[in-house]
Structure 1
Amino acid sequence: MIKKSLEFLLLFLVVNLFAQSKFEWKTATEGGYTYKYVSNDPMKARFYTLKNGLTVILSPTPKDPRIQAYVAVKAGSKTDPATNTGLAHYLEHMLFKGTDKYGSLDWSKEKPQLDKIDALYETYNKTTDDAARKAIYKKIDSVSGVASKFAIANEYDKLMSSMGAQGTNAFTSFEETVYTDDVPSSSIDKYITVQAERFRMPVLRIFHTELEAVYEEKNRGLDSDGSQVFETLFANLFKEHNYGKQTTIGTIQDLKNPSLVKIRNYFNTYYVPNNMGVIMSGDFDPNEVIAKIDTSFKNMKSKPVPKYTFAQESPIKTPIIKEIVGPDAESLTMGFRLPGNKDKDVLIADLVGQVLTNGKAGLLDLNLVKKQKLLSASAFTYTLIDHGVLYLSASPTTGQSLDEVKTLLLGQIDNLKSGNFDASLITSIVNNIKKDKIYESETYGSRAGSLMSAFTSEQNWRDQVAYVNDLSKVTKADVVNFAKKYLGNNYVAVYKKKGEKANREKIEKPIITAVETNPDKQSAFVKMVDDMPSNASTPVFLDYNKDIQKSKIGLAEVLYVPNKDNSIFRLKYRYKKGTLNDLKASLAASYIQFLGTDKMSAEQISKEFYKIACSFNISAGEEYTTVSIEGLQDNFDKAVSLYENIINNVDPDDAALASLKARIEKGRKDRKLNKGAIMQGLTSYAIYGKDNKFNYTLSSKDLAETTSRELVDRLRNLNNFEQTIIYYGPKPLNELVSSLEKMHKVPATFNADLAKKDFPQVQLKKNQVLFANYDMVQAETRWIRNTDVYSPDKTTLINVYNNYFGGGMGSVVFQTIRESKALAYSTYGYYMSPQKKDQDYYIMNYVGSQADKFNESTAAMNDLLTTLPNLDGNLNLAKNQVRKDIQTERITQDGIIYNYLAAKDLGLNEDIRKKVYADVGNVNMAEMKTFHDTYFSGKPYTYAVVASDKNVTMDQLKKLGDVKVLSLEEIFGY
């Protein structure tokens, strides 16, 4: 009866929060504009519809002097013409190229050349003879070169940088194309002016080089086994719908035959105000902002938008099994077709995904992962407008077939259908979603993201506000009935197997002459925007003596920042012991999640934490092991007491350790098949040499010989090491200390510090190449070089340099390698600062390109490393970006404490941003050039290269330096 009473109490606490509230659409008028809102909405979102049909959603919150802004279009790959797949996506790319007013030096001279390019592409698309197509493409390339003389590349990015924007980007999916910027509140007038112009009449300039960037993106997708799995799953779930019939990136054939006319037609059809939304959250007056948006966007004309229609899918009556082969580790992905997001069952569908896996106490979590029957397993509900998918994925452990993995997953589906789960799980899920909703409304970025997603998904915001309340009404019987209705033998399973891809598609490199980017030029429109008045925010610097409260619990220092906004707490015990002291520290940290005590099993522990909407985790870093406990403050004492009981009474479990060792060995094998992990290893090898932090790990022999008792001893002994207690939450400091003193016993003396493994950074004398062979279309290259020891006096210059050289879309690296020469989709260059005062800076540059562009892309980066382009306008932009970032950055919550700890590691006793802000205006091009010549130009580099040896030859690599072909054992250390 006690257990049932607790479950009832938890449900009552969650539901009662909303029971006093009604969630209804209401209407209000203020500042001359009428808007709708949902009562008791914690985001206080206002929904406006302007006369031309444009939706504007505003959610003011004053905590940060910034605004997350989206311009969202309800059009994506679902509405791509069947003959021009990928169109919505490459239109997204072109919306960064400007209009007749910006992005152009002389529109009257540029336009005739662009008209010629339009006509050439139409001829090109109708031509099938290869020789004739090459001749036409040569003309396109030639005319593009002429047109580029009148174009200013990346002027949009420069515009946004000049006003202090961050995160300037865009994305396209099935049903949405969204343009995103995070701007200072003081720049709101500029932002609205630019967006209204941006969508007025976009010009498709610098097209063939941008299309080449899309080719590069396509090739990255072809190299991604995960992308291939996703596309295969959807293609077999949806035979009649564009979710499955075409992909967002498009087919190679369609990418090879673009039509600027059809791109423009698509824009004119879907980029109309009644199909678009402007969504903002941040520090602003909504009455002022809506008037400005109305004035700026009123010239956009509403018109009917064609509705996407589709045939109903035939039922899947027997399982559909598909197989793909690639270099990554084996895995299984399964999908069940579900209704779209307008269906009455969609709320239950969301809950079903959480019942299966929520990271803590779902059926897959407890029955498969916690019991180590699989290496990993997850499930979630992917709900789109027209259809949904229950998406399951899992990775096998040692000696396990994918058929066995599938049987285990289906076993949990059977548990769902038979009701073989505790009804209290639903209560726990609702309680945890309540906590997630608090997090969701906490920051301006997450607010805007939720509102944007609801808009493009055509979801009723009232339902989102009432979500926890509505979900709490779903019963176990509802979940069981849903599972029986939708989850039978009607699934698609994709077996991802290890092997070399056969008949690999590849987009061949066209001959492209580098186009002009005119990076030192500026249009009249940009000057007009720059000259618009704005009141810059006053920077707020941290005062570590005032912003952090300190106390003691015995010998342990307590660092405290109050949470004045909501009921969330985060508590950490930070112990001075890490993997550089003890290689088995991370193994012990992983082991505890599978252990119980004499009174509770591991599964019961997970359930108990999940019931009270709290969690704990132990993670071992290089120098510190951190215990993290977080959740609802009402349950603080329960969560801390529960953790302390576990850590003091944890029982060894030989069977659990044996399973963990097997999973670790399997995980190691899988990691050696991952190109990202391989590049990490090469990078560490380049920085530290043959023996490095990446391959400093337990040998298989040491792993096998490790006993349960020694790991449990490590866990129980953890509290005897020097520790710092970090707290962010609503409990006052004196109450926190009083409460923790009763539950967390700090020893009278700490253990002596353990010896720490040291990894000095290596200094190069000549170029070298570290090469790892991997089955892929692309070639990924990093340039790495250690320089000299940390000095705070260099911070300002380094920040400006990184913005100028390679830190964004307006940087010289991006403009040259991607925009002008079309050699890569992704490229960057940074001078990386260390985390400790006795460590060295290092250079990290990158190009990811088609393998047949390897020579050109490496040469292009080397040219930039040799000679820094002199662009005074770009330097001013870089300085301005650093200045505005500091003006609007607000380090808050426990971020204050981590900033303080990071500063201590660098030997700093005050906020370094204060010095940067004071000095940034003094940085000049002469200093930049001296810095570049001192650390970059003519210096030896390590080239870390991951590519297929079938596509990049040894002769090509030798031109860069002495080549070391590294084995996976050398890279990974096992």
Structure 2
Amino acid sequence: MSTSVSRLFGAFVLSAVACKTAANAPSTPPAAASGTAPAGDRDAVLAASDLPPTHAALPDDPLAVSVHRLSNGLTVYISTDRQKPRFDAWIAVRAGSRHDPAASTGLAHYLEHMLFKGTDELGTLDHAAEAPHLARIGELYRELRATQDPEQRRKIFAELDLANQKVAVSAIPNEFDRVYAELGIADLNAFTSFDQTVYVADVPSNRIDAWAEVEGERFSDPVFRLFFTEMEAVYEEKNLSLDNPWVRTFYATTKNLFPRHPYGTQTTIGEIEHLKVPAYQDMVDYFDRWYVPNNMAVVLAGDIDAATALPRLEATLGKIEPKPLEAPYPGSLAPIGARVQTEVVAEGEQEVMLAWQTASAADADEPALTVMDWLMDNSTSGLLNIELELSQKVPSASSSRLSLREAGWFSVRAQLRDGQTHAEVEALLLAVVEKLKRGEFTPADVAAIVLNQEIADKRARESNDFRANKMTDAFINHQPWADVVARDRKIRAVTREDVIRVANKYLGANYSAVHRRAGKPEVAKIDKPSMTPVELHTERRSRFADALLERPAQQLEPEWLVEGTHYARGELAGGPLVAVSNGRNDLFSLTYRFERGHKRDRLLCYALDVVEQSGAGELTAEALKKQLFALGTSVSFSCDAQESEITVEGVDATMEQSLALVERWLREVKIDKAVLRGIADNVISTRRDAMEDPDELAGALADYAIHGKDSEFLHAPTNAQIAAAKPEALTKLAREFLDYQHKTFYFGPRSASDAAKVIGLGKGHRKLPLRSPVAYRKVPKPTLYFTHRDVAKSTIAVALPSPALNREQRPAARLLSEYLGTGMNTLLFQEMRESRGLVYYAWGVLLAGRRPSDAWALRGGLGTQSDKTSEALKVFFELLGRPLDAVRLGSTRAAIEQEYRSSRVDPRASGMLVHAWDELGEKTDPRPWVWQTIGGMTLEQLQGFAAGFAAVPPIVGLVGNRERVDLEALKEIADVVEVAPAALFSYGSFPRGQAATVAAR
């Protein structure tokens, strides 16, 4: 609920809340009492609902999905996996922003928010007392929609605030979140997109009863309380989308492609004019119309089975009555007749995105379109990767594909470098599309894609999230599960001719062209109403919550990592090895980590970037990448100020061949001078764009504010160094890269001893001194570093540094972090968003050093509307200094307890976790000791620990709009130091046209 979920396509889709009151209350939706089908008509209602066939697991289904139906028509998908005693529990509704009324866009999304506010039994002490005020709120929103008079609107907002406070007298605002946290139910969230709204949770296997009861209550009797406060969170989210050029580009594309269909005419978050006058009654009606069991599915993936789940679901969610379904407004999906262009003006990078309407998820062409997308862009040897990226014609290029319930689209995009025009880049993209349509690829290229798709699916099946996502898509897209299984077989049967056919069928002259141009955007603004904070009253608890938390459940026992059981240690010539067995499949993953970054060698990271775009010996870059892709092997390089890594992943059968190719790549790297000039131009051009992008600036400013001269952005090579870098110097860095001591992490089907025989890389292996300890900037008084951008939101980073603390204080750090936290049940989120509507996100954690010598810091972050900045920062600091709340601390402790009992370390992550313990000097898994210490820690002990940070002068980094953030008010909080973007980076000057000239000398 607190985080954006850009699952399918990156459109801003987030969690939400809904409401329905008791049957005799004045605010009961009218249709709720009249729309229920008589019992004799139930079969007819379900038959007309286009529900998927039910069946046991199919014999050729690797996910072993079974599909069931409750008596009321609710569909249940189950995919069992026993790796950990938890399961993903998703509830999917076949209704999203595509189903919004045209005059109430954004409705599905803010209804989603409201379904976290509770019910007539959960989230309130006295529903009968609040019901009249809820009814009055509904009337006031009707009045708001009926007037444009500013004075009348002001009066209505004031009365809404008063009515909201009257509801708050008996409300328990965060009870839904708190109950789930104390039960150990994690990752509570939701997302809305075009065709769906989905509610997600990660549930311990011993809590199926409690989860089913809460969800049955949530979807039977929701109450839309505290709507006035929650709409502020929606406004905040809208501002995030207004400041995000990608989101604006996305919606410009859908509007071009679908000008007469809700896919194009309605955004998920909603239009500003609709959000200013939210349709409260329309929301109630929407819930009554679409949130019915014959339009919903429960999706379960993990440690759960039908025998356990179905009786619980039938007794809870199975009690909701089905209703006849209306047909949504059809719109028109007739393809556009010609090229349609739109411009998006934004700071930062410039780009071109082209898109074509294609086929729906269930269409017979979908498998071939999937392979077509891989052929264009697989991050290695796709046509766009080779024709535009490896050739250095553009800094980056990619493709993407999306298939929805009724239609789909395919897009290609490329970033401009300095000096290029949008027309030139569009022509480059179209030229690659023509190569695709002419079939300038081979059957071997298609076979390699099929192999890599199978590997990707095999890897994804390790995740409950993937399983839940795939089952949800099947339900939303009205696809029988047998067709989904068959579709995966059809992918393997796609031929070169199939791809050529669909490319020519869909990729014609009738496409959308969105040109993102550099410039200052018009910054829209949603005015905030005056709002009285809602008191949270952590001591309150409903009778429903009491009964739920007191219900007995068999305790799960924690599992700690044990050397020799969960992982093994070894020693390679290059340094230590941590090996973890993969008992699920034949995939391997190898990471070689070096304590060497651009702080030690200024050009090292750049050299690795160049390697990724270069060949080896007689192998061109294209031939090398195609060889790796044909093996099903991916190779990635990462490098920052302190560390660098190579990660190699693939199939065990080709591991030796893949590693030999990787070592040859580095030993025999062939850096072409002309290619290097193109790389330098692209890097410098991308840097220029980054210095104008608000999100990039926020990261750089945070590092500068908090670490000062130690900011990693101040240690990167300058533009002049990049431009002057010679092939010989970069080649030397690449060829010697493996010959330093490093740590190796292996995950795969081989034993540690067998893997150790073949995975060692490099020779000689020079020793590396330990990196310098992490240090924070020291300031004598509160100091705020400010960088101006023309944005609707403010992005704020906070740090309260402390010297390095000792091992004994790590449990206190964990407990305090969870108390302040990043989740919905934590102090900062509840007080700043749920109570005051001040922010979209707020978090705070105590970052202990990775090594004993590192400094610690209490770190935090806020995202808020510009005109709320100073108020939000004041409240943030007030909360950090507030005495700890015993009730909230008890809830936090209970959540940690359940997490330790029910969570299991993903085997793929075990090696890195062991590495983190090694860094701290821990000989074994330290979690048992941390858990026991937290259990015995008193409030007074934690309060004393937290007080040490409250006395430290805070450091703040803020990227925002100086016309709106009220700098004078901020100066009352801290000394304000304005910082120009150029001061945040080591890059130096950017004379246009100079990069290529310097590089050519």
Shorter-chain TM-score range: over 0.9
Which amino acid is the alignment partner of residue 268 of structure 2?
T
Query: Does the CA contact (< 8 Å) of 2:99 and 2:329 recur in 1?
Result: no
d(CA) in 2 for partners of 1:443 and 1:385?
A: 24
d(CA) in 1 for partners of 2:436 and 2:547?
A: 62
**2:608 is aligned with 1:608:** no
Q: 1:539 aligns with which of 558, 575, 580?
A: 558
Find the counterpart in structure 2 of residue 558 from structure 1: 577
d(CA) in 1 for partners of 2:233 and 2:853?
A: 40
> Shift of residue 921 of structure 1?
1.7
Find the counterpart in structure 2 of residue 798 from structure 1: 813
Gaps of 5+ in 1: 1-32
**SS of corresponding position for 1:751:** coil
Find the counterpart in structure 2 of residue 833 from structure 1: 848
Query: Does the CA contact (< 8 Å) of 1:74 and 1:456 recur in 2?
Result: yes
Query: Does the CA contact (< 8 Å) of 1:581 and 1:754 recur in 2?
Result: no
Q: How does 1:91-102 map to 2 (within 5 A)?
A: 91-102=111-122
d(CA) in 1 for partners of 2:612 and 2:290?
A: 50
> Shift of residue 104 of structure 1?
0.5
Which amino acid is the alignment partner of residue 533 of structure 2?
A
> Shift of residue 379 of structure 1?
0.6
Find the counterpart in structure 1 of residue 602 from structure 2: 583
**SS of corresponding position for 2:843:** strand
d(CA) in 1 for partners of 2:864 and 2:973?
A: 17
**SS of corresponding position for 1:542:** coil
Query: Does the CA contact (< 8 Å) of 1:761 and 1:786 recur in 2?
Result: yes
Q: 1:715 aligns with which of 734, 739, 750?
A: 734
Find the counterpart in structure 1 of residue 781 from structure 2: 766
**2:732 is aligned with 1:678:** no
Query: Does the CA contact (< 8 Å) of 1:321 and 1:494 recur in 2?
Result: yes
User: Structure 1 residues 547 and 493 mapped into 2: Cα distance closer, same or farther (>3 Å)?
Assistant: same
Deviation digits for residues 143-164 of structure 1 (CA, Å, limit 9, x no counterpart): 1111111100011101110111
Deviation digits for residues 346-368 of structure 1 (CA, Å, limit 9, x no counterpart): 22221211111111111101111
**SS of corresponding position for 1:933:** helix
**2:368 is aligned with 1:348:** yes
> Shift of residue 280 of structure 1?
0.8
Q: Which moved more, 1:71-80 or 1:572-581?
A: 572-581
d(CA) in 2 for partners of 1:568 and 1:343?
A: 31
May I ask how many residue pairs the two structures share in their alignment? 935
**SS of corresponding position for 1:298:** helix
Q: How does 1:399-548 map to 2 (within 5 A)?
A: 399-502=419-522, 504-544=523-563, 546-548=565-567
User: Structure 1 residues 304 and 561 mapped into 2: Cα distance closer, same or farther (>3 Å)?
Assistant: same
Query: Does the CA contact (< 8 Å) of 1:556 and 1:725 recur in 2?
Result: yes
> Shift of residue 893 of structure 1?
2.3
Find the counterpart in structure 1 of residue 914 from structure 2: 900
d(CA) in 1 for partners of 2:467 and 2:487?
A: 15
d(CA) in 2 for partners of 1:721 and 1:919?
A: 39
d(CA) in 2 for partners of 1:734 and 1:940?
A: 52
**SS of corresponding position for 2:754:** helix
User: Structure 1 residues 719 and 691 mapped into 2: Cα distance closer, same or farther (>3 Å)?
Assistant: closer
d(CA) in 1 for partners of 2:933 and 2:193?
A: 43
Find the counterpart in structure 1 of residue 397 from structure 2: 377
Deviation digits for residues 22-60 of structure 1 (CA, Å, limit 9, x no counterpart): xxxxxxxxxxx9744322211111100111110001111
Q: Which moved more, 1:240-249 or 1:294-303?
A: 294-303
Find the counterpart in structure 2 of residue 207 from structure 1: 227
Find the counterpart in structure 2 of residue 628 from structure 1: 647
> Shift of residue 662 of structure 1?
0.9
**SS of corresponding position for 1:186:** helix
User: Structure 1 residues 789 and 755 mapped into 2: Cα distance closer, same or farther (>3 Å)?
Assistant: closer
Query: Does the CA contact (< 8 Å) of 1:781 and 1:946 recur in 2?
Result: yes
Q: 1:972 aligns with which of 972, 985, 992?
A: 985
> Shift of residue 745 of structure 1?
5.8
Q: 2:889 aligns with which of 875, 878, 883?
A: 875
Q: How does 1:882-893 map to 2 (within 5 A)?
A: 882-893=896-907
d(CA) in 1 for partners of 2:318 and 2:967?
A: 60
> Shift of residue 314 of structure 1?
4.1
Which amino acid is the alignment partner of residue 185 of structure 2?
A
Find the counterpart in structure 2 of residue 304 from structure 1: 324
d(CA) in 2 for partners of 1:754 and 1:909?
A: 22
User: Structure 1 residues 271 and 645 mapped into 2: Cα distance closer, same or farther (>3 Å)?
Assistant: same
| TM, length-normalised to structure 2 | 0.91
> Shift of residue 704 of structure 1?
2.1
Query: Does the CA contact (< 8 Å) of 1:781 and 1:944 recur in 2?
Result: yes
User: Structure 1 residues 229 and 790 mapped into 2: Cα distance closer, same or farther (>3 Å)?
Assistant: same
d(CA) in 2 for partners of 1:408 and 1:667?
A: 18
Q: How does 1:71-470 map to 2 (within 5 A)?
A: 71-470=91-490
Gaps of 5+ in 2: 1-52, 988-1001
d(CA) in 1 for partners of 2:888 and 2:829?
A: 13
User: Structure 1 residues 859 and 737 mapped into 2: Cα distance closer, same or farther (>3 Å)?
Assistant: closer
**2:784 is aligned with 1:784:** no
Which amino acid is the alignment partner of residue 953 of structure 2?
P
Deviation digits for residues 737-762 of structure 1 (CA, Å, limit 9, x no counterpart): 3344xxx5653x43243685666323
> Shift of residue 643 of structure 1?
1.6
Deviation digits for residues 337-387 of structure 1 (CA, Å, limit 9, x no counterpart): 112223222222212111111111111011111111111111111111111
d(CA) in 1 for partners of 2:859 and 2:373?
A: 40
| TM, length-normalised to structure 1 | 0.93
Which amino acid is the alignment partner of residue 683 of structure 1?
A
Q: Which moved more, 1:133-142 or 1:553-562?
A: 553-562
Query: Does the CA contact (< 8 Å) of 2:566 and 2:581 recur in 1?
Result: no
Find the counterpart in structure 2 of residue 856 from structure 1: 871
**SS of corresponding position for 1:427:** helix
Which amino acid is the alignment partner of residue 264 of structure 1?
V
**SS of corresponding position for 1:701:** helix
Deviation digits for residues 297-324 of structure 1 (CA, Å, limit 9, x no counterpart): 2210111111224243444332111112
d(CA) in 2 for partners of 1:189 and 1:651?
A: 62
d(CA) in 1 for partners of 2:87 and 2:565?
A: 27
> Shift of residue 545 of structure 1?
5.4
User: Structure 1 residues 59 and 546 mapped into 2: Cα distance closer, same or farther (>3 Å)?
Assistant: closer
**SS of corresponding position for 2:924:** coil
Find the counterpart in structure 2 of residue 932 from structure 1: 946
d(CA) in 2 for partners of 1:126 and 1:217?
A: 25
**SS of corresponding position for 1:70:** strand
Query: Does the CA contact (< 8 Å) of 1:281 and 1:445 recur in 2?
Result: yes
Which amino acid is the alignment partner of residue 749 of structure 2?
P
d(CA) in 2 for partners of 1:755 and 1:575?
A: 11
Find the counterpart in structure 1 of residue 665 from structure 2: 646
Query: Does the CA contact (< 8 Å) of 1:47 and 1:56 recur in 2?
Result: yes
d(CA) in 2 for partners of 1:745 and 1:809?
A: 45
Q: Which moved more, 1:539-548 or 1:174-183?
A: 539-548
Query: Does the CA contact (< 8 Å) of 2:61 and 2:485 recur in 1?
Result: yes
Q: 2:66 aligns with which of 46, 63, 69?
A: 46
Deviation digits for residues 657-689 of structure 1 (CA, Å, limit 9, x no counterpart): 111111110111111122222122222122222
User: Structure 1 residues 463 and 636 mapped into 2: Cα distance closer, same or farther (>3 Å)?
Assistant: farther
**SS of corresponding position for 2:890:** helix
**SS of corresponding position for 1:199:** helix
Q: Which moved more, 1:455-464 or 1:702-711?
A: 455-464
User: Structure 1 residues 554 and 816 mapped into 2: Cα distance closer, same or farther (>3 Å)?
Assistant: closer
Q: How does 1:681-700 map to 2 (within 5 A)?
A: 681-700=700-719
The percentage of aligned residue pairs carrying the same residue is: 29
**2:836 is aligned with 1:817:** no
d(CA) in 1 for partners of 2:631 and 2:540?
A: 59
**2:937 is aligned with 1:917:** no
